[in-house]
Structure 1
């Protein structure tokens, strides 16, 4: 297989990892997920050279297993941005109805956004993981600082949706929760590949 020409990002779904690539302590359910050719989710965290940190997702919240995947094993990648229109007509659950309602309004922001979490996984794979009380998880890529007043306006929009919506703002330094950035706290939690940090400016480069 030729070398990949992209760097996987947090929340990307990757196909191609096999059960044999899990460590010896991996649970049986994780091996079953990979044996069924389901994807893994890129997570934030360190990984050996030539690999990417990933998580195997099972049926419930308690079924999450952290691992690393060889980059050379990647056969397919789906980014959250590729799923923004995938929910059309799939309105069985509040999360998907909320996505259909929010999509045109998020498109108007002129920033890249995408679907993550259970909704993203179900839309990408067809595996039914959503239920009536599922949240809708989204990300917004903000290469330039997002004014906190704009964040507050966006949060007000999300809070009008049919279900709880959790949006992560992806900055060049990591990711922050929109709900935190829209508030008054002088520092917010920034998720980075080296762990969480409290920062005043989530767009400022963070030393490793």
Structure 2
């Protein structure tokens, strides 16, 4: 379930190796405790200097999220969302039930997909992160354009699950919510390392850099 650390790091990857001593002096106590417990951090989108990666520390509470930097040299282990597609759990949370229901159809769709968010964090680390009302967060690697019709068909599949499912389309220069791309709006919000902006075609590089 562990990916090679020397591959390109991508948003939503989970990384182990950050220690309390590597956090800034003003880091909150809960973040220090999470790192002392050996918990992973999640790769986030943000500009960084060479040799660094932008990461986020998760706390026990929803509002406990701390953005920081990690040196590439500190990475000891990496788990990608794709590595968690078939991870098993003995917990019975609705998000995990939804994952079990959707696994087969998503495998059959031909796209590379993975588990992120609270479900991915718990499956990868064993640290409790889910609860009865948790959504299931998924990512879909879409290097090639997905039509609006394809997006609507995929969304209809996800909406059959036992809990809300939030899927992000990972496009070459960022990410866009599947639900937005499947909607009627002419422009959608593209999230990238340089910020978020409205675009009409998330796969069009010329529009993204304009």
Q: TM-score, normalised by structure 1?
A: 0.95
Aligned to 1:142: 142
Any gaps of 5 or more consecutive residues in structure 1?
none
Secondary structure at the aligned position of 2:57 is classed as strand
TM-score by length of 2: 0.95
| Structure 1 partner of 2:72 | 71
Partner of 1:128: 128
What whole-Å deviation, never above 9, does each CA across 1:75-113 have from its counterpart, x for those lacking one? 0000000000113x5351100000000000000111110
Q: How does 1:55-94 map to 2 (within 5 A)?
A: 55-87=56-88, 90-94=90-94
Question: For 2:93 and 2:44, how far apart are their aligned partners in 1?
Answer: 26
Q: Measure how far apart 1:207 and its partner are.
A: 2.1
Alignment length (residue pairs): 204
Q: Give the Å deviation of 1:120.
A: 0.2
- The alignment partner of 2:169 has SS state of strand
Would you identify which runs of 4 or more consecutive aligned residues in structure 1 move more than 3 Å?
Answer: none
Structure 2 Cα separation of the partners of residues 5 and 68 of structure 1: 18
1:6 aligns with 7
Could you tell me how far apart the structure 1 residues matched to 2:93 and 2:162 are?
Answer: 10
- Cα RMSD of the aligned pairs, angstroms, is 1.1
SS at 1:183 equivalent: coil
Q: What residue is the counterpart of 1:44 in the other structure?
A: 45
Residues in 2 aligned to 1:193 and 1:146: alpha-carbon distance in whole angstroms? 22
Residues 135-154 of structure 1: CA deviation (Å, up to 9, x unaligned): 00000000000010010011
Long gaps (5+) in structure 2: none
Q: Indicate conservation of the 8 Å contact 1:91/1:97, yes or no.
A: no
* 1:107 maps to 2:107: yes
Distance in 2, matches of 1:25 and 1:137, equals 30
